[in-house]
Structure 1
Amino acid sequence: MCGINGIFSYHASAPAVDNEELIKTRDFMISRGPDGAGSLVSADNRIGLAHRRLSIIDLSENAAQPMSTPDGTLTIVFNGEIYNYQSLQTILTKKGIHLKTKSDTEVLLHLYNLFGSAMLEFLRGMFSFAIWDKNKKNLFLARDRYGIKPLYYSNIAGQFRFASQVSALQFARPNLYSTNPAGVTGFFLWGSIPEPLTLYQEIYSLPAGTSMLVSGVGLEQPIKYWSIIQTIQKSHLAAKDIPVGEEISYLRASLLDSVKAHQVSDVPVGAFLSAGLDSSTIVGLASETQTEELNTFTLAFDEFKNNPLDELPAASEIARIFGVRHQSIRINIKEMENELDHFFSAMDQPTIDGLNTWFVSKFAADQGLKVALSGVGGDELLGGYQTFQKIPEKVNKFPAFLSNPRISSLYKFAFKTLSSRLVRIDPRLSGLLDFGGTFQGVYQMQRGLFMPWELTQFLNKDFVHQGISILNEKMFLPSDEPDFTNLSSFGKVAAMESSLYMRNQLLRDTDWIGMAHSLEIRTPLVDHLLTEKIIGMASAGRLGKGKSMMPLVLSKKLPSSIINRPKTGFTIPIWRWLNISEQLGHWKQVPDLCHPNVSATRRWAYTLMAKHPNSNEFLRTAR
């Protein structure tokens, strides 16, 4: 796990690589790689690559980056982990290639030399990397299938820049980048910025599961090498070959394989442990396969003590059953306030989630941990969210005759009048007639933060219109793919949850928060091979309801009090903090956000954006 960046002056008229900018961008990301740093600038000053290292696999200096092939033709900077690198080393050795390190980085170099972009099909892991070909004078970039590892780029005046963080690019050359109306608007619609957009108009995210080539003629379009939709279809067909009655053993073998793969490391691997089935299953399986004692970490809050939302008692019992070394921490409002400045400054892209992951990551890192397993991804894989039931129900029950613009306008007017008088009504229901008839529309209502017409309550009107226009043109939605209509209802929801909420929020938060604490967070339930094996079975209903079969795969059984514990998510007492903390009172300036029916999440979103240094450009009321 590392931080990577580079500058490629591909056009003849572009200025030479600025080494000072290259190093400035690199060292802004020091928390991503405190164990070492390197850089390389070509003799003609047309390409510069830089790297910050967090040593996880092959801790020796031999694995330092940038790394080149023996003849100097290819040079790589790489962020992430390739979990099957050892089997790939065997393949390379059999082809007569002499490996000088025990690192996965060197494996990538030789695979690209042999197979070009087709090398991506061999990889199991989380990754983003760039490979410079000195002979062909081109730069090849790629990102893992789910987008666990980020890669951002800009293309200005014949000069291509890339980095692991948007903020690193912006920090080194702040005058190059301007606020993106679509990024801000997208954040308020979804609670995170949808890729490939970012908070800046000139900076894009390389989409998950794609590669891109930059040559002397500029950027080629990203090429998609993996699709969640095609994977779901493939898995659905493969599920028919699994004999009835073998579901539990098949699920156990599949999960165990992924957990073992994600434990590959030359430093100790720990795990986050909540009271949920996802992390419990990960910890249970990891404790079976890890030879050393497994360290687990649980976060709790003073506000939840002696409350059903308190996860610590159940997590402690789970740790006792599995025989792992368990450590926990309770956070109070004062400790939260002390961390806010660091939290906001480290936040690479605005997100309504993440405070919980922040505190448990900080706690684990403070105990000396470098690698932690997380239970992110179980709900998307097995249908654990309520969206898997609610969205198909609402789509099927929606009367077609209500899809009429005139009826919708009357409904929204009536809704606004009524909602101002009613306390317990969800403002998102104002979109019922506009969005109620399609999977994409109902998903927007279920997962969305604000409806588009609500944004002018606190954003400048022209800014909103500009943002919506760009979003309509550039935002990727899985439902836009031709094969989406062929999926089952389960498959459609899984595709949207994986491509939107999980990718743009959960996985992005996992990366920037972990890296802010020099902690590599791995997600065994977000693994393309696991998805191919399991999601078709889940779609066919053969794994029970939601995640109910997960605890059945464990050697040491969990009590029913834990298995049947109501799902709470990774909850934080944000509603209380927003009302009490003076540092989080920005939302109180907006009358519409003070209404009793407004959720704490909406108020938190406004507060986050109000802290952005350029918020006066687009917020109608901001301190």
Structure 2
Amino acid sequence: MCGIAGIINHQASEEKSLLIKMSEFLRHRGPDASGTYAQGPASLAHTRLSIIDLNSGDQPIHNENKTIWIVFNGEIFNYPELKNQLLAKGHKFYTKTDTEVIIHLYEEFGTQLFDHLNGQFAFAIWDQNTEELLLGRDRMGIRPLFYCHNHHRLVFASEIKAIFADNTIPRQIDPANLSDIFTCWATLGDQTCFKNIFQIPPGHYARFSKKGLKIKQYWQLPFGKKIYQERSVEDWREELNQLLLDATRIRLRADVPVGAYLSGGIDSTYTSALVKNNFNNKLCTFSVGFSDKQFDESYFQKKAVDYLGTDHKTISCSYNDIGKIFPKV
């Protein structure tokens, strides 16, 4: 994961020291590198965990004439195919990253770029030409993206703590939304457990300009569509297997080693088996065991590791471990 943050202020320039402070609150998300962009109304920051293009992929990243800038957290799994299409259209690239692909997609398709992305992402694109910010979040909301909006000014970040680096933003718990977290494990819609701090909902994007903030949904699960066909269970099984195989394959695109979390459950065991049997015979896996037997799945993890023969690492977590780390979290 990486960390992104920024401030758009259409009435005054922001102090760069605040941008740096926001970035420092996200250092744990991106320990490998950091970068900032500040010009006119826009200030952007990025902390990087390097996965693709280790040498020239530091952010923010820009287009050919440096009028459009992006900070990005996530991975675009189909970026090689997209890059080839964009090269054919005349776009020029100065990095090998998936990040730069997004900025050229924006030049080519505007907000329709989301139709082309296969990935998990949260990003901010600043367009100097229109003085407009585009915030986007992936279809299922895998990558986080929070913001605080006050008329002419918008502050955003991967984590709320970075937004609270700005001491002018009030900190006030919202009891109803906090209750949702304890009940549903998450707040609903665009809400957070803090008043006046919101999140871009999954499958949505936001545009912020001098005219204000507009949020639009670009995708939703196709509930209600009649897609059932008279096919055998064997046919459905084969199609599902091929889809999972392709999804696993494109997630292995990286310039660093890729490992797999093995919980001991069906999902992680199956995806680990797909990698081990089809792509990577030296797969590294890792898991967490718990001292509380009510939550511990070490028995099933060991069965999976013994069967798959992966290079496995495990850690054990106790209530004392949770208590020690809780204040930092």
- Normalised by the length of structure 2, the TM-score is 0.93
Cα deviation for residue 187 of structure 1 reads 3.0
In structure 2, the residue matched to 1:270 is: 259
Cα deviation for residue 283 of structure 1 reads 0.8
Structure 1 gaps, min length 5: 347-623
Report the structure number with the largest CA radius of gyration.
1
C-alpha change, 1:277 and 1:40, in structure 2 (3 Å) is same
In structure 1, the residue matched to 2:218 is: 225
C-alpha change, 1:267 and 1:175, in structure 2 (3 Å) is same
Say which of 222, 240, 243 aligns to 1:254. Answer: 243
C-alpha change, 1:339 and 1:244, in structure 2 (3 Å) is closer
- Provide the rounded CA distance (Å) in 2 between the counterparts of 1:290 and 1:337: 39
Q: For residue 128 of structure 1, give the secondary structure of its aligned residue in structure 2.
A: strand
Q: How does 1:206-605 map to 2 (within 5 A)?
A: 206-220=200-214, 222-228=215-221, 230=222, 232-234=223-225, 236-237=226-227, 239-240=228-229, 242-243=231-232, 245-291=234-280, 293-304=282-293, 310-331=296-317, 333=318, 336-346=319-329
Query: Deviation per CA, 1:72-117, whole angstroms, max 9, x where unpaired?
Result: 1110011100000011111111112222211001100100000000
- Normalised by the length of structure 1, the TM-score is 0.51
Assess if the C-alpha contact under 8 Å between 1:182 and 1:197 holds in 2.
Answer: no
Assess if the C-alpha contact under 8 Å between 1:7 and 1:48 holds in 2.
Answer: yes
Residues paired across the two proteins, number: 329
Larger RCO (alpha carbons 8 Å, 6+ apart): 1
- Provide the rounded CA distance (Å) in 2 between the counterparts of 1:162 and 1:337: 34
- Provide the rounded CA distance (Å) in 2 between the counterparts of 1:33 and 1:280: 28
1:268 maps to a residue whose letter is: P
Say which of 22, 27, 52 aligns to 2:24. Answer: 27
| Greater Cα offset, 266-275 or 320-329 | 320-329
Structure having the higher strand fraction is: 2
Structure 2 gaps, min length 5: none
Cα deviation for residue 171 of structure 1 reads 3.1
- Provide the rounded CA distance (Å) in 2 between the counterparts of 1:187 and 1:311: 24
Query: Deviation per CA, 1:280-326, whole angstroms, max 9, x where unpaired?
Result: 1011101123335111112223443xx9x653233222222222112
- RMSD across aligned C-alpha pairs, in angstroms? 2.0
- Provide the rounded CA distance (Å) in 1 between the counterparts of 2:126 and 2:102: 12
- Provide the rounded CA distance (Å) in 2 between the counterparts of 1:310 and 1:17: 48
1:253 maps to a residue whose letter is: Q
Structure having the higher helix fraction is: 1
1:323 maps to a residue whose letter is: G
Q: For residue 177 of structure 1, give the secondary structure of its aligned residue in structure 2.
A: coil
- Provide the rounded CA distance (Å) in 2 between the counterparts of 1:51 and 1:280: 34
Is 1:52–2:40 an aligned residue pair? no
- Provide the rounded CA distance (Å) in 2 between the counterparts of 1:313 and 1:208: 35
Query: Deviation per CA, 1:494-533, whole angstroms, max 9, x where unpaired?
Result: xxxxxxxxxxxxxxxxxxxxxxxxxxxxxxxxxxxxxxxx
C-alpha change, 1:254 and 1:37, in structure 2 (3 Å) is same
Say which of 181, 186, 208 aligns to 1:187. Answer: 181
Q: For residue 263 of structure 1, give the secondary structure of its aligned residue in structure 2.
A: coil
In structure 2, the residue matched to 1:90 is: 84
Identity %: 35
Is 1:164–2:158 an aligned residue pair? yes
2:114 maps to a residue whose letter is: L
Cα deviation for residue 241 of structure 1 reads 6.5
Q: For residue 299 of structure 2, give the secondary structure of its aligned residue in structure 1.
A: helix
